[in-house]
């Protein structure tokens, strides 16, 4: 078929279709030219009609001095089609702009989703840090404040009965310790003994001054990752703190040991106990902290039989 007839077939298709598709356009050109295959390449995409066994004859399609795509026909005997390529300049320019606009829109949507994800992750990380600081203050500094409250009551009673100023001096030292813990926790600083010497040393430094606390850590000999030691340290302090608040005067035992499975710990008291089914909310911090490092916490208690808070972090 003469090229002019191919141009007319293309023009008819373009008039009929307000939104021409490159593959349909290749079909029109290939059929009108008597080719076995026809392909249009626009914006990096190849739209082919026919089997295209080759060889191919390529025609560059330009518009306004800029290449918009490539027209290819096979076999070569279908003849050169420079007139068809010229007619296709403006339509392919529109198709290329639409394709690039769609690509840019998809990339923009992806970038917006990624930005949203980044913001969500940043917000989640900030919330996690905030909750971590909240737990550290609750489990560490509050432990000292509860002890101070108890000491104040004892000093008040002692002074009313002719006590000495030595107790006031001891109380001031406890206040200094509580202030240091608050400042260090707010700054994200872990206890020096915990960082340098491990969990056993940190628990000894923190709890050995409490007459009502017995430390059973003779079977704790190795170090664990810092996040694990920190989690177990603060969990034990919080459990001791709960015992001081709810089981005053009770004997408290803190037991931590290595096992072939991981790190085991428990805090037991001889207090009045409680119904665990009605007090789960107050123990949420303990479970959350252990879960953050892949561990678990269990609470065993009952009215009149004391309380045992046990936990485990696997290797």
Instruction: Select the more confidently predicted residue: 314 or 180.
Output: 314
From CA 313, how far away is CA 293, in angstroms rounded? 7
Tell me the pLDDT band of 258, cut-offs 50, 70 and 90: very high
From CA 14, how far away is CA 218, in angstroms rounded? 88
Reduced to 3 states (helix: H, G, I; strand: E, B; else coil), residue 252 is strand
Tokens of 205: 């430094």
CA distances from 55 to 24, 28, 46, 108 (A): 21, 20, 16, 39
The residue whose two tokens read 């879960």 is: 291
Instruction: Select the more confidently predicted residue: 232 or 157.
Output: 232
pLDDT digits (tens, 9 = 90+) for 239-251: 998 888 888 888 9
As a whole number, mean pLDDT of residues 265-289 equals 81
Tokens of 46: 């190849």
> Terminal CA-to-CA distance of the chain, rounded, Å?
79
pLDDT, residue 232, reads: 92
Domains and CATH numbers, the chain: 3-87 (no CATH), 190-315 (3.30.565.10)
pLDDT, residue 265, reads: 96
Phi, psi of 126 (to 5 degrees): -65, -40
pLDDT, residue 215, reads: 94
Instruction: Select the more confidently predicted residue: 202 or 188.
Output: 202
pLDDT digits (tens, 9 = 90+) for 82-115: 888 888 888 888 888 888 888 888 888 888 777 7
**Span of 55-64, 155-164, 257-266 with lowest mean pLDDT:** 155-164
The residue whose two tokens read 């609470």 is: 299
Q: Is the pLDDT of residue 151 over 80?
A: no
Q: Is the pLDDT of residue 36 over 70?
A: yes
pLDDT, residue 289, reads: 81
Tell me the pLDDT band of 193, cut-offs 50, 70 and 90: confident
Tokens of 245: 């608040």
CA distances from 143 to 20, 174, 256 (A): 75, 11, 19
Q: Is the pLDDT of residue 26 over 60?
A: yes
């Amino acid at each position: 078929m003469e090229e002019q007839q191919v141009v007319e077939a293309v023009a008819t298709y373009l008039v009929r279709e307000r939104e021409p598709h490159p593959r349909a356009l290749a079909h029109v050109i290939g059929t009108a030219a008597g080719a076995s295959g026809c392909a249009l390449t626009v914006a990096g995409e190849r739209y082919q009609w026919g089997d295209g066994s080759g060889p191919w004859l390529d025609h560059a399609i330009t518009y306004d001095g800029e290449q918009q795509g490539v027209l290819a026909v096979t076999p070569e005997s279908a003849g050169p089609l420079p007139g068809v390529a010229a007619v296709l300049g403006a339509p392919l320019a529109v198709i290329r702009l639409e394709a690039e606009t769609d690509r840019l829109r998809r990339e923009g949507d992806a970038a917006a989703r990624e930005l949203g994800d980044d913001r969500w992750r940043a917000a989640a990380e900030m919330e996690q840090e905030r909750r971590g600081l909240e737990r550290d203050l609750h489990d560490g500094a509050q432990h000292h404040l509860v002890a101070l409250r108890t000491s104040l009551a004892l000093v008040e009673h002692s002074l009313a009965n002719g006590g000495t100023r030595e107790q006031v001096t001891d109380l001031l030292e406890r206040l200094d310790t509580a202030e240091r813990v608050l400042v260090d926790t707010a700054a994200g600083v872990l206890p020096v003994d915990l960082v340098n010497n491990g969990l056993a040393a940190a628990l000894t430094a923190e709890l050995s001054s409490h007459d009502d606390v017995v430390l059973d850590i003779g079977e704790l000999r190795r170090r664990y990752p810092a996040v694990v030691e920190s989690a177990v340290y603060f969990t034990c302090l919080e459990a001791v703190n709960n015992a001081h608040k709810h089981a005053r005067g009770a004997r408290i035992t803190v037991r931590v040991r290595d096992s072939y499975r991981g790190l085991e710990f428990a805090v037991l008291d001889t207090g009045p106990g409680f119904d665990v089914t009605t007090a789960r909310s107050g123990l949420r911090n303990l479970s959350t902290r252990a879960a953050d490092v892949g561990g678990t916490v269990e609470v065993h208690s009952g009215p009149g039989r004391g309380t045992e808070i046990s936990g485990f972090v696997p290797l």
